Amino acid sequence: GDELFDADAVFPGATWAGSRFVRAWGVLSSWLTELAKEVLLRGNQIQCAMDEEGRPAHKGRRDLLVELLASRMPGECSFLTRRFHQLVFALGVHQALPSVAEGDLWDLLAAFLLQAVLRCDTRRGVLEPNPYTERVLQHQVHAAAKRLGLTAAELEGLAAVLPEGARAKAEA
């Protein structure tokens, strides 16, 4: 009997079988709509309900997106909660979301987006520079990238999806 049951089995198609970088890049690209980039770079306010009442699939994805991303926010970043929620409500949900089984991908994307919010708000002068929080988020990004098997070059490729003002400043 034991060979009939695999405790680690996942429904076929529930997780991505291809390149982890391609998966992360595709999800991030589909999420970062022009509206999301505006909210990220300029701190624009948007209507949270955003005309999704007539689109139950979009509303369901948005609710799940908020839950899965916000639950990954470290306590040290709680001061970013309002801005992070503004960004998450602006992300595109026209594509299916990654499976909840893709926890490492969710971890990476949440830390990556939080890092972008921190950088943009610091550059706009809304926040004082916060090297400690930047290091916490950098550690989370690198830890998730390592679990996904992403290289430093692939992380740079992901950063290229972000609007220029949200990327790390080039080292001199």
pLDDT by residue (tens digit) across 150-160? Answer: 999 999 999 99
> Cα separation of 141 and 98, whole Å?
18
Using the predicted structure, report yes or no on whether residue 12 has a pLDDT greater than 80: no
Q: Which amino acid is at 121?
A: D
Rg (C-alpha) for the chain, rounded Å, is: 17
Q: What is the pLDDT of residue 172?
A: 36
Q: What is the pLDDT of residue 171?
A: 44
**What is the pTM for the complete model shown?**
0.84
Q: What is the pLDDT of residue 166?
A: 87
Quickly state the pLDDT bin for 17 (edges 50, 70, 90). Answer: low
Q: Which amino acid is at 8?
A: D
Q: What is the pLDDT of residue 86?
A: 94
